[in-house]
Structure 1
Amino acid sequence: MPMPNEYQTASQQFDRFLEDAREALDLTTRNQTYTCVQGVFLVFRARLTAAEGLRFANELPAVLRAIFVKDWDIGREPRPFLSRQEMAEEVAHLRQHHNFSPVTVIEDVARALRKHVETKTFDAMLETLPQQAKAYWSVEGHEI
């Protein structure tokens, strides 16, 4: 079996995602963008069980999947979902002295992510998660 294309082109796919996320977030650097993306993923991941998180990760492009699962303590109890504003504040606390997350960081990253996943299977996967998890990834004009 040949190597899957998603692994052969993982770096290029990640670069395209980062550019879309940088534009959505209105940031200037890849480092700023990466911090926002990582923060959005970590805040979301903290609210999922391992089984839920792996279902989510399976729908991500390869590099984003790796970022999502890296260093995950699957033994921790999921935290409760909060308002989007409160969770955006959590995102902003990751490397807070170097974090340029706008208040719309979660929706901005969600909008960029939707350009890089198979929308139908992504939405079907979100239907298997708690309602608040689905809401986390909703964007204006695309409610699940």
Structure 2
Amino acid sequence: MMQLRESIAEHKPHLDKLLKIGPQLKELNPEESEMVEEKYQKAESTYAQIKEEVRQRALALDETVSWLAQFHDKIEPMVETLENLSSRPHMPALIPAEVDKIRECISDDESATMELEKLQPTFEALSTMDKSLLGDLRELTKIWL
């Protein structure tokens, strides 16, 4: 995006020069004055159109980057919690012979279940955001291609 902006800025002096000498060329050659005027006006209009399109694409990109950062900030705690919970089944549970130990294991399992249940609404919200993001990315792809 930066390269496009730099290229636009680099072409600005050339356009300004064309717009300055265009009317003078028109006066020098009355026979081709319409063609000369048409060419420099078309160049000015094309330049303005390109500049506006780059500006709009930059805004869309900035919005998407911001949205992705927010999405990442929201999903990161969920990922950490799920990673912690997923490591539990990989540790073989020893079957305790004491009733107190069994109750402690049941309590741990219940707390893990509660953690997952707390994450469910956030997961559903992020799922919805993900679908929205995919739609937005498809739209951006259409704009760029």
TM range (shorter): under 0.3
TM-score by length of 1: 0.22
Give the number of the structure with larger relative contact order, counting CA–CA contacts within 8 Å between residues 6 or more apart. Answer: 1
TM-score by length of 2: 0.22
- More helix per residue: 1 or 2? 2
